[in-house]
Amino acid sequence: MEKISKERKITYYIGLGMIVIGFLLFISVFFEVASFMSDPFVNDPFSGGKLPSMLNGVIGFFIMIAGGIVMNIGAKGAAGSGIILDPEKQREDLKPFNEAKGEMINDVISNIDAVNHLTKNQEQKEIIKIKCRNCGSLNDEDAKFCKGCGKEI
């Protein structure tokens, strides 16, 4: 099975880091607003205080989006994520994932084969029936009474 290159792994983790940094910047706006709301008279903008800046939230939001794109490129490669439109390169970039999916499908199929094998073994078991002397219906070999007429076998 083909391994994902070291460069793609690094790109993936850089994108993940960008998402975390962007989230921290985005969430910092809420803390800044909460601290402003806790004592609005001290932070009154009319008496020289400053309003909370929403710029960190906007920057954080765009860094999260960019981080998601970088992380997607790291995970699927440039062609696999749709940045480069080259079917041959896309097949090569997505090969580790397709092989992993193929292995998962093979695992499922092998489990199905195992279940089928078990049921075939159960089906191959010889079935013995006993004919009732009174009515002639067939009964299981361990039956004590006939299922047709109810008399003792």
> Do 13 and 67 contact (CB within 8 A), yes or no?
no
pLDDT higher than threshold 60 for residue 109: yes
Rounded-to-integer distance, Cα 32 and Cα 95, Å: 46
Q: Can you tell me the distance from the alpha carbon of 65 to that of 15, in angstroms, rounded to the nearest whole number?
A: 9
Question: Above pLDDT 90, what percent of the chain?
Answer: 22
Can you give the pLDDT at residue 113? 60
Give residue 101's pLDDT: 59
Tell me what pLDDT residue 47 has. Answer: 53
More confident call, 94 vs 153:
153
Predicted confidence (pLDDT) at residue 102 exceeds the cutoff of 80: no
H-run or E-run covering 113: helix 95-123
pLDDT tens sequence across 16-67? 999 999 999 999 988 888 877 776 555 555 555 565 678 889 999 999 999 9
Neighbours of 147 (CB within 10 A): 13
Q: What is the pLDDT of residue 142?
A: 87
Q: How would residue 70 be classed by pLDDT, with cut points 50, 70 and 90?
A: very high
Q: Residue 64: in which H helix or E strand, if any?
A: helix 55-80
Confidence at residue 35, expressed as pLDDT on a 0 to 100 scale: 77
Model pTM? 0.52
What pLDDT, on a 0 to 100 scale, did the predictor assign at position 31?
Answer: 87
